[in-house]
């Protein structure tokens, strides 16, 4: 499959080489190759001279192994075996550890210990909806503030919707700033006897009702957590806003990653529209796992027709052979009666040794016929496989063309599918080479 003339080519190398490019965000729906794309971009940028860190959310060990690292954690680790003048570091987001680091950095030791030991905080930091996406943005802000790398490549968290990466930080901030949280914080903020009076008069009914609904111990854990976190709530919102502005800055580039499938490209279209609405810089679309054929001139219809012709001719040849075999039982020019009155000799003469060479030739004839039949069957099977491949190509082209018709302004790079999985740096380089060449028209 080749790029449609309406789609502008996405040039990857100029994007990675530009020193003004400081952050590349790979986003898209799950299962389209975002993590592999991010890692391949990191390898190519490092080998072209950039000092790169790849922040991945994928917990699969195969990615770490492909980079020659036993395991990835919340600390950037240098990847060995990368050629060129640059460096490549990689890390995997540890959601809870990142949350813990925020608490430890913005609270005094006693308050930090109280927060970290609080059961409600432990549940919030481990699995609250949107926490992973928020922590990915927190970690991005931390890496950018350290300024140890001149290029940060982010693999966004896998989720049901690619839009969650942009929505979740706001949702978590809204939760922490919401009316329910402020209501639970009110008794602590009132303080002293006035606060106790307010609690006894006005809050006792509310807390009693919530205690029945949520459980008394859970409610006390929430109130203890909120009291300890009171001074930090504003920081969450401030940092989320700062990271959001960082994503809107000119030095950031979003790459929407998709596969040439209807659902993946529909999600990609939604994300393109959302990025435009949020005024975030979109570099282009990476279309992964695109199928191709070295015999594209042979259409599916012609291949199928050729296979049918081979199969029909084989059937005709078999019928002709069977008819000839049945007719040779009675010699031409003799009658059945003559054959019935013919008496065979009592003893067959011994074959002459000089005629022995003719025996293998006679027995080889059926084998030759069988081999010809097998070749015809294999050829017909290959033609049918080619017809199926051409149908896949046509479907992928139609799906891609619908996207480019809706968004002709989006540059596209197509990455041909590899025959196997990526399991080492050589595989990542192969993906990077195909990615860099995927923006050229052919």
* Burial group, residue 70, by CB count within 10 angstroms (0-12, 13-18, 19+): exposed
CB 252 within 8 A of CB 22: yes
CA pair distance 140, 25, nearest whole angstrom = 10
User: Which runs of E-coded beta strand occur in 266-315?
Assistant: 282-290
Distance CA 157, CA 154 (A): 9
Superfamily, domain 12-164+252-295+402-437: P-loop containing nucleotide triphosphate hydrolases (3.40.50.300)
pLDDT at 237: 73
The pLDDT assigned to 241 comes to: 80
Distance between CA atoms of 435 and 415, rounded to whole angstroms? Answer: 5
Nearest-angstrom CA–CA distance, 56 and 136:
9
CB 32 within 8 A of CB 259: yes
Tell me the two tokens of residue 322: 């069977």
Beta strands in 120-163 (DSSP E): 151-155
Give the pLDDT of the chain (442 residues) as one tens digit per residue.
555 545 689 999 999 999 999 999 999 888 898 989 999 999 999 999 999 999 987 666 767 778 877 778 889 999 999 988 999 999 988 888 888 988 898 888 998 898 899 888 888 777 666 677 778 888 888 899 998 999 999 988 766 555 676 776 666 666 665 555 656 555 545 444 444 444 444 444 444 444 444 455 666 777 777 777 666 766 777 777 888 889 999 999 999 999 999 999 998 999 999 999 989 999 999 999 999 888 888 998 998 999 888 887 765 555 555 555 555 544 444 444 444 444 444 444 444 444 444 444 444 445 554 555 578 888 989 999 999 999 999 999 999 999 999 999 999 999 998 888 888 899 999 999 999 997 654 4
User: Measured at the alpha carbon of residue 313, what is the angle toward residues 307 and 316, in degrees to the nearest 5?
Assistant: 145
Tally of CB atoms within 10 A around 95: 22
Residue 25 pairs in a beta bridge with 154, 254
Q: What is the pTM of this model?
A: 0.75
User: What are the extents of the domains in the chain?
Assistant: 12-164+252-295+402-437
User: 250 Cβ partners below 8 Å, 6+ apart?
Assistant: 20, 281
**What DSSP designation does 5 have?**
T
Amino acid 341: pLDDT: 42
């Amino acid at each position: 499959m080749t790029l449609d003339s309406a789609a502008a080519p996405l040039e990857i190398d100029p994007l990675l080489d530009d020193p003004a490019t400081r952050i590349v965000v790979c986003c898209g729906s799950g299962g389209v190759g975002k993590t592999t794309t991010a890692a391949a971009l990191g390898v190519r940028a490092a080998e072209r001279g950039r000092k790169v860190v790849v922040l991945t959310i994928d917990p699969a060990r195969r990615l770490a192994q492909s980079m020659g690292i036993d395991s990835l954690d919340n600390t950037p680790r240098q990847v060995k075996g990368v050629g060129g003048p640059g460096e490549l570091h990689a890390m995997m987001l540890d959601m809870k550890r990142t949350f813990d680091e925020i608490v430890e950095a913005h609270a005094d030791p006693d308050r930090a210990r109280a927060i970290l030991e609080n059961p409600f905080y432990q549940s919030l930091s481990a699995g609250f909806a949107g926490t992973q996406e928020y922590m990915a943005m927190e970690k991005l802000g931390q890496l950018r503030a350290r300024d140890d790398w001149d290029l940060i490549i982010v693999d966004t968290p896998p989720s049901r919707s690619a839009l969650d990466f942009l929505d979740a930080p706001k949702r978590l901030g809204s939760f922490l700033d919401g009316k329910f949280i402020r209501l639970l914080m009110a008794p602590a903020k009132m303080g002293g006897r006035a606060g106790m009076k307010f609690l006894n008069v006005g809050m006792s009914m509310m807390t009693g009702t919530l205690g029945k609904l949520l459980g008394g111990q859970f409610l006390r854990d929430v109130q203890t957590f909120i009291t300890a976190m009171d001074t930090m709530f504003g920081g969450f919102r401030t940092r989320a806003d700062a990271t959001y502005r960082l994503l809107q800055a000119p030095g950031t580039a979003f790459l929407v990653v998709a596969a040439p499938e209807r659902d993946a490209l529909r999600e990609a279209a939604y994300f393109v529209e959302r990025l435009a609405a949020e005024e975030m810089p979109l570099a282009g679309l990476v279309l992964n796992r695109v199928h191709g054929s070295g015999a594209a001139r042979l259409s599916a219809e012609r291949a199928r027709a050729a296979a049918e012709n081979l199969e029909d001719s084989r059937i005709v040849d078999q019928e002709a052979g069977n008819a000839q075999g049945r007719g040779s039982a009675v010699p031409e020019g003799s009658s059945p009666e003559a054959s019935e009155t013919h008496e065979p000799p009592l003893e067959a003469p011994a074959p002459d040794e000089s005629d022995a060479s003719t025996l293998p030739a006679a027995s080889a004839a059926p084998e030759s016929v069988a081999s010809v039949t097998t070749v015809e069957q294999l050829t017909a099977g290959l033609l049918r496989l080619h017809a199926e491949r051409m149908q896949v190509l046509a479907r992928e082209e139609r799906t891609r063309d619908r996207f480019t018709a809706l968004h002709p302004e989006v540059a596209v790079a197509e990455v041909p599918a590899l025959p196997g999985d990526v399991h080492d740096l050589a595989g990542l380089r192969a993906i990077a080479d195909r990615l860099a060449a995927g923006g050229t028209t052919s």
